[in-house]
Chains A and B, each alone.
Chain A
Amino acid sequence: MDMLHYDFMIRALFAGLITGLICPALGVFLVLRRYSFMADTLAHISLAGVAFGLLIGVAAEFSLLFTLGVATVGALIADYLRVRSRLSADALLALVMSAGLALAVVFFGLSRGGALDITSYLFGSLMTVSAADLWLILIVGTIVLLFLIFMAKEMYFICSDEEAARVSGLPVDLLNRIFILLVAMTVAVSLRVVGTLLVGALMVIPVLTSLIVGRSFRQVVYLSLALGVLSSLLGLTASYQFGLAAGGCVVLVALAFFIVSYGIKQLFTLFKKRWVVKNG
């Protein structure tokens, strides 16, 4: 527990706790809608935002806010294209994702000096969460949780059957837009801890694990939140103990939960099948 003597570690754990909560909370709806890649796409746009911030010399305390702004604009563009263009969802996400990454690489190149920072943005780091960042993460976390507390049932309807939701009179377009903005904000603030390449995994993997175990939508939601927080805290602790990239550790823990649940479920199913055959 000596890690708790360090301020940076307490900040990282606190940030991890919040991101571990809100990433899968939004991820449930992304997976439900078969939009799992949305998070990755927005992460790459956020990375472009980070790089652009470095390039134009945004002060360190505002860099996260700046990234958040860029991610938000990127999300709005992606959403506009989703509604207006005739591209399929996966093609659109691939397009926007590569655009984000290409811009990021070019901006990083132009800003030079930033090379050291890139890995921490790609894979997450324990050291980069400042006090100002933590406030921003807290604010975003509160907004996301409030939205979901009040709008979970509407989002569930929209994600499972958008047409029927529209016919029932729900303001589908507005809620979709708010949702996508919240995903963008969540991705942007989670970059500090889990990194660009793995934030999508934190949104999706706990949900997939919960889908193996859960028997109702409610169970899937709560289980996803618990697994997200657990993966995040355990992963960050491992990252501290072994000096490894934070994002990698967090996602590996989440993956471990998935593999174990999957294995147990398979064994259980096999056993049940045999039992049914034997005993009628």
Chain B
Amino acid sequence: MKVIELQNIYFSYSDRVILEDINLAVEKGEYLALIGPNGSGKTTLVKLILGLMEPVCGKVLVFGTPLKQFKDWHRLGYVPQRAVLNNGFPVTVREAAAAGRFGRIGLCRKLKREDWEAVEEALEMVGLLSLQHKPLLELSGGQQQRVFIARALAGHPDILILDEPQVGLDDRYLYDFYCLLKQLKKERAITIFIVSHDIGEIGSWADRIICLNKKVLYQGTPREVLNPAKLKDVYGMNLYAAN
């Protein structure tokens, strides 16, 4: 079953074409990585899927429903690329992660005990439960990023969309992070859609890789896609990825 489907998507900013004739589908329960150089339109593609931008033409379907009619937003978890709050507001880790429940419980409702349990469980998954009462601003950039991953998980999504979440995560946590994604996929059948610049690591974790540079250049298993010739085609230089 296709959980996300893009049909003939075009996107441009006034005179610059960003995405051209994009057709792709994300199958239920798969672990899909989107790679490509800077400016290749990866983030734009994610924003189109999330309805934060509208394509010039083409169709986006989420769980088989056109985006305009889609209502079950709580089924999507989103971890944005830039996730550092820097406006000096004192928010505790727990409060920040709790926002992930808002879409699920609906307007005007208060968080109940099961919501807080979901928040704590999500913080546990990213290894931050012991810091839950700390102010978010006292955490390092990488830890803050993990709070935002927890926020997405707290809503118990069916699909997790992550836009370069590795930015700011240190090497020590990065491995745990990839394991966590794998575990979510395995134990909860969550579909993972991750935008990555880390072509070295991602090959050993994802089921399928899509190379984007304005168009979908290649897609397939890491073994098929991550070979020097294809990567050179995508990035315009010699790159080697371990897989």
**Cβ of B151 and Cβ of A217 under 8 Å apart?**
no
Interface size of B as a range: 20 to 34
A280 on the interface (CB 8 Å rule)? no
Residues in B whose Cβ lies below 8 Å from that of A163: 50, 52, 78, 80
Q: Which among A150, A157, A219 has the highest number of chain B CB atoms within 10 Å? A: A157
Q: Kindly state the separation between the CA atoms of A163 and B163 in the bound complex, as whole angstroms.
A: 13
Residues in A whose Cβ lies below 8 Å from that of B155: 168
Q: Kindly state the separation between the CA atoms of A216 and B107 in the bound complex, as whole angstroms.
A: 22
Binary contact readout B78-100 vs A (1 if CB under 8 angstroms, 0 otherwise): 10100101011111100100011
Which residues 54-102 of B sit at the A interface, judged by CB distance below 8 A?
71-74, 76, 78, 80, 83, 85, 87-92, 95, 99-100, 102
**Cβ of B73 and Cβ of A167 under 8 Å apart?**
yes
How far does the Cβ of A172 sit from chain B's closest Cβ, in whole Å?
10
Residues in B whose Cβ lies below 8 Å from that of A161: 80, 83, 85, 99
Contact of A150 among B72, B83, B108 (CB under 8 A): B108
How far does the Cβ of B105 sit from chain A's closest Cβ, in whole Å?
9
Contact of A167 among B76, B95, B108, B110 (CB under 8 A): B76
**Cβ of A151 and Cβ of B102 under 8 Å apart?**
no
B103 on the interface (CB 8 Å rule)? yes
Residues in A whose Cβ lies below 8 Å from that of B88: 211
Q: Kindly state the separation between the CA atoms of A153 and B109 in the bound complex, as whole angstroms.
A: 9
**Cβ of A217 and Cβ of B99 under 8 Å apart?**
no
How far does the Cβ of A204 sit from chain B's closest Cβ, in whole Å?
13
Contact of A169 among B73, B85, B87, B90 (CB under 8 A): B73
Residues in A whose Cβ lies below 8 Å from that of B76: 167
B141 on the interface (CB 8 Å rule)? no
Interface size of A as a range: 20 to 34
Q: Is the interface of A mostly helix, strand, loop or mixed?
A: helix
Binary contact readout B162-181 vs A (1 if CB under 8 angstroms, 0 otherwise): 00000000000000000000
B135 on the interface (CB 8 Å rule)? yes
How many residue pairs link A and B with beta carbons under 8 A? The number is 83
**Cβ of A151 and Cβ of B87 under 8 Å apart?**
no
B228 on the interface (CB 8 Å rule)? no
**Cβ of A220 and Cβ of B78 under 8 Å apart?**
no
Which residues 110-131 of B sit at the A interface, judged by CB distance below 8 A?
110-111
Contact of A168 among B83, B87, B100 (CB under 8 A): B100
B51 on the interface (CB 8 Å rule)? yes
A164 on the interface (CB 8 Å rule)? yes
**Cβ of A32 and Cβ of B87 under 8 Å apart?**
yes
**Sampled A-B contacts (23; CB under 8 Å):** A150-B108, A151-B107, A154-B107, A156-B99, A160-B87, A160-B99, A163-B52, A164-B80, A164-B148, A167-B73, A168-B99, A168-B100, A169-B72, A169-B73, A170-B107, A171-B107, A211-B89, A211-B90, A216-B92, A216-B135, A217-B89, A217-B95, A220-B90
When A and B form their complex, which 10 residue pairs have the shortest distance between CB atoms, in order from nearest? A169-B73, A168-B103, A167-B78, A169-B103, A150-B108, A157-B99, A167-B50, A217-B91, A216-B92, A214-B90
